[in-house]
A and B are shown apart, each in its own frame.
Chain A
Amino acid sequence: MIYEGKKKIWADYQKEIPEDHYFYVRSCIRQSFFPASEATFLDITRNKLGKDIFETKHHTTCGGIAYHSDAIPQETSMTIIARQFALMKKYGYENYVCSCITSFGLYCETLETWREYPELQQKIADNLWKSCRLEFAKPKFLVHASDLIFKYRMQIAAKSKFKLVNQKTGEPLRVVEHIGCHYSKMFPSKGVGGAEYPYVLVGMIEAWGGQIIDYPERRHCCGFGFRQYLIKGNRGYSVSNTHKKFESMEPYKPDMIITNCPGCPYFLDRWQYVIAETQGKTYGENGHGIPVFTYEEVAGLVMGYDPWDLGLQTHQVSVEPLLDKMGIPYDPAKKYLGRNGKDLGQPGKPHCLK
């Protein structure tokens, strides 16, 4: 691997990311899959770094899942998106940051479609006015929330309490980064570092002390694929893709996986359980899996948030081996206690996966 060669490509895919003042929209599924990630994003950016990140309860889904599952036509999703953008304008913002990769890809696709077909843009603007009485607007800058954490990675590193370093050996942790397909595969220029060698997560790992693993199936999809997962009969495809990735990364002995998409961490995490229960195979040390994190969770760990406040107890693959490596203290007794000390109940134990 010639690192300089990657740096040349990264230099070609510089994306302008404004420093401050964003209109923030959440993801539909992340709030239940990784319940504290978005709250952590807001807490880090607003309270720790002092940024102006505005959120309104009036925003909705972008319609992406329905669109990609062929449940709604493109015009419908475009009108939903036009409404989100109009809300941004209404609240006085021109920078738009979204938490979800599906949304990000769909926003990019929509803006590109409008650019190419102005008559369609006009039609959507009319739809918006008729249905919502809102004024059509487009963001000046569209970024994904991982772009922003990337932008702030050095500020986060400066405030860090822990590093992506094995405290016992002093060695950097071996980190697999996984980028959501719709982050830059459709529009490579919209992603930090492009599509073949994205830099957005690599930059965070480097800034926080970890070591990147570039394994052969790095670019391969996690297998979510909407219809591949949503229809039970197709789930074999989904889990097979995840299986292919794990088989490919296994020789590198990764300590953790960091992702920037709603679906990827979910499937890379949950399918390890299914692979363990159907194939009897686990990929971490001593029967454990490889813990999978969102970038907000990793930023939170680095900044010293309590692991249970980050919602890490909702992961299928236990995160304790990683916490031990990083030297992060945690109280096992509090793992399944909710925000106010309420007992959430203990999940059942898998047979094969520790």
Chain B
Amino acid sequence: MKNNILVIGGGPAGLEASANLKRLGYNVILIEKDKQLGGHLAKWDRLFPDGVSARQTLNALLEEVSGVNCFTETQLQSINVLDKSYNAILSNGITVLADAVLLASGFDLFKAEKKEEYGYGIYEGVITNADLEEAFREKKLPSKQPQAIGFVHCVGSRDEKAGNPACSKVCCATAVKQACEVKEVYPDADVYCFYMDLRMFGRHYEDLYLKAQKEFGIRFIRGRVSEVAETADGRLQVKAEDTLSSKPLRVSLDMLVLMAGMRPSESGKTVGRQLNLTTEEDGFFSSADNLLEIQRSKLPGFFYAGACTGAKTLPDTLHEARSAAIEIDRYIKEKFSEK
């Protein structure tokens, strides 16, 4: 008899783990709260560093999960720890007896309106990284040529007052990618990136930075935007310090893109409360060990993959999904093998 594995969350981590668990011969039940699978990836247009299509990447992940029992618009209603397994009741009425559970509940984007000084939801022209991706995807960019566009890195990241001292890891590369993309659409616009440190750590990320500077003439200003206001002609007045020259700076922009960071997802927190899963100070779930057992929780048979244990890039997430599948396989073999 095949062991049942319950995977919670149908984003890249859940999809990739499900596909690998299915390959290893398990009976996988994948639940996703939204109507469609794919998580944030389904909402994105292109991906850094090479600008590949998010849709094509997602389609490739979706192909792999054919044959997995996927329940969309389904959440975990309740879950009990049994002697060797988990008894989960789903919101669609189905009960699953799972020998292992993988939590891949990912992240929620930081609510940019919480940084009141940036005026998201108040000043037209202030949008988020996700809004810009949607505009690219739906081809709904403003047709009126903007004169100047700014990107604010670290919105709700590296910000204790916003409740998140951690770096969200993907925003620098996303901002530089999006800055190049808007410059492609509006070649005459001045494009500024307001950063504190540029964390271009991944392969080809530094190339992207160099390209943004040299090919697109994007101006990088080291300093965090401190205040946004509206001018008499309906543009945005942005204040920051150019910390490299130690002088306050102002600039008028037509569009300001806030790089909203990653926060633990609300749906993940709901699962966490039911099982008393522990979290670290950053609000993300704590692994059994941050080096050797990242995929394991402190509960036997309960595993993590992806951004539910902290901000991750897409490749990080996919690696974790694969290693979670191996960890789960190892656990099942140890726990359920005939002795």
Contacts and interface: CB of A to CB of B under 8 A. Distances in A.
Interface of A: 1-2, 4-6, 8-9, 194-197, 214-219, 251-252
Contacts of A9: 113, 116, 122
Given A194-B116, A216-B237, A8 B121 contact: yes
B241 to A, nearest CB: 15
Main secondary structure of the interface of A (DSSP, over half): loop
A219 B124 contact: no
B291 interface: no
A217 B228 CA distance: 10
B227 A6 contact: no
B230 interface: yes
B123 interface: yes
Contacts of A8: 113, 121
A6 B232 contact: no
A1 B230 contact: yes
A2 B230 contact: no
Interface residues of B, number: 15
B166 interface: no
B121 A5 contact: yes
Nearest to A249: B232
B231 interface: yes
Contact of A197 (B122, B124, B231, B232): B122
A216 B231 contact: yes
Contacts of A215: 229, 232
A214 B116 contact: no
Contacts of B230: 1, 214, 216
A1 B122 contact: yes
Contact of B229 (A4, A195, A214): A214
B159 interface: no
A196 B116 contact: yes
Contact of B232 (A4, A196, A219, A252): A252
A2 B116 contact: no
Nearest to A253: B232
Interface in B94-134: 113, 116-117, 119-124
A1 B116 contact: no
A197 B123 CA distance: 12
Contacts of B229: 214-219
Contact of B121 (A2, A214, A219): A2
16 contacts: A2-B121, A2-B122, A2-B123, A4-B121, A5-B113, A5-B121, A5-B122, A8-B121, A9-B113, A196-B119, A197-B122, A217-B229, A219-B227, A219-B229, A251-B232, A252-B232
A5 B123 CA distance: 8
Contacts of A1: 122-124, 230
